[in-house]
Amino acid sequence: MSEWPRFALGDAMVKGVGSVDPSKYPDESFDLYSIPAFDRGEPEVVQGSEIGSTKQVVAPGDVLLSRIVPHIRRAWVVGRDSGRRIIASGEWMVFRSCAIDPGWLRHVLVGDIFHSQLMQTVAGVGGSLMRARPAHVSTIEVSLPPIEEQRRIAAILDHADTLRTKRREALARLDELGDSVYADLFVDPVCHARQIRLDEVSEIASGITKGRKVNGAPLREVPYLAVANVQDKKLDLTAVKTIEATDAEIARWRLQREDLLLTEGGDPDKLGRGSLWRDELPEAIHQNHVFRVRPDTSQVDPTYLNWTVGSRRGKAYFLRSAKQTTGIASINSTQLKAFPLDLPPKDVQERFAQRIRAIDSMSDHRRAALAELDALFASLQSRAFRGEL
């Protein structure tokens, strides 16, 4: 265990950082460190005329910590001077000290030890209204190794973080590869597809409704899939709810392998969002806001069906057909049954499914490797900040 001294973050927090109203300099270009810019990975270059509020003036090497929606870990080191004035959103807390290596402090601010303390400083009711309070953050203490040790730690963690970034980029490219394979086989009319209604080759059903009357029938608890569990071509089963249902209800709604689950809507991005059930749980049913499409596999390959329903053309159909109110869109079973399905020859569908399975296999291996890297990175962080690295 290290004997490093403790250091209150308030000693490095810049409380009197300057400000500027860029709109008073409409023809000047600024480097803007905003929250959206962080999510994109680089500061925006913006004309003063396009910036509608006063901003903080920051300098190269400053470390920025987001106080908005603090459960998302956002910490950023201001980059080199490009010749433009550098400004930042007021949602950033700014840290600056000649005793601190910026790269090291960034790792501290996104590490588990600090983050658990940061979340105790939060005020607000949730979502975008949650904010960390700078006055409370300033009282948090961290161990302060010598500056050369800080730089050594930062270099090790940077290297490990770079490896994780490359793994994520490789996974993203594999996701894009699936889209390319689909377009190559099916977007070109050479695939000789005939068009039918979805209900001609599948059985479509809504799911169980909470609060229904069961007239005293015996019940037992069973997992059920909700909208949050059904993502685009994948299932999120980290939190699966249960419901009490009769044996007859469970038999009616029990999921079978290769069932396609589709969300009825909500936000427009949920229209037609779906994934295949692969017997991930021994037993499960689905709620009434999730449609079950059970394909006739002698005519349509389930993987092909999943990709076609979720394709750009499929999304366009759902948006045209959906009942829409302000920010909300939903489809009903009648509209889903009428989905215009292009049905190419079965061997072409199966060739596509084989390629997708190969891509999925590669993705699984890379996700496993990424999980190992994430575990290694967390271990390195913990050891580094305890002085054991």
205 and 337 belong to one structural domain: yes
333 and 202 belong to one structural domain: yes
Dist. CA 32–CA 64, nearest whole Å: 12
Question: Considering the domain boundaries, does residue 66 fall inside one?
Answer: yes
Per-residue pLDDT tens over the stretch 61-91: 999 999 998 899 999 999 999 999 999 999 9
Per-residue pLDDT tens over the stretch 220-260: 999 999 999 999 999 999 999 999 999 999 999 999 999 99
129 and 235 belong to one structural domain: no
274 and 203 belong to one structural domain: yes
Domains contained in the chain, number: 2
Question: Considering the domain boundaries, does residue 1 fall inside one?
Answer: no
Per-residue pLDDT tens over the stretch 188-209: 654 567 899 999 999 999 999 9
- Predicted confidence at residue 130, as pLDDT, reads 83
Question: Considering the domain boundaries, does residue 255 fall inside one?
Answer: yes
Q: Is the pLDDT of residue 278 over 70?
A: yes
Dist. CA 360–CA 383, nearest whole Å: 34
Question: Considering the domain boundaries, does residue 377 fall inside one?
Answer: no
Question: Considering the domain boundaries, does residue 182 fall inside one?
Answer: no
327 and 202 belong to one structural domain: yes
Domain end: 126, 144, 162, which one? 144
What's 119's domain CATH number? 3.90.220.20
113 and 221 belong to one structural domain: no
- Predicted confidence at residue 127, as pLDDT, reads 57
Q: 340: pLDDT confidence band, cut at 50, 70 and 90?
A: very high
Q: Is the pLDDT of residue 175 over 90?
A: no
113 and 200 belong to one structural domain: no
Question: Considering the domain boundaries, does residue 166 fall inside one?
Answer: no
Sign of CA dihedral 68, 74, 79, 82: negative
**Full domain range(s) for residue 57:** 6-144
328 and 199 belong to one structural domain: yes
247 and 138 belong to one structural domain: no
121 and 203 belong to one structural domain: no
Q: Amino acid identity, residue 340?
A: P
240 and 312 belong to one structural domain: yes
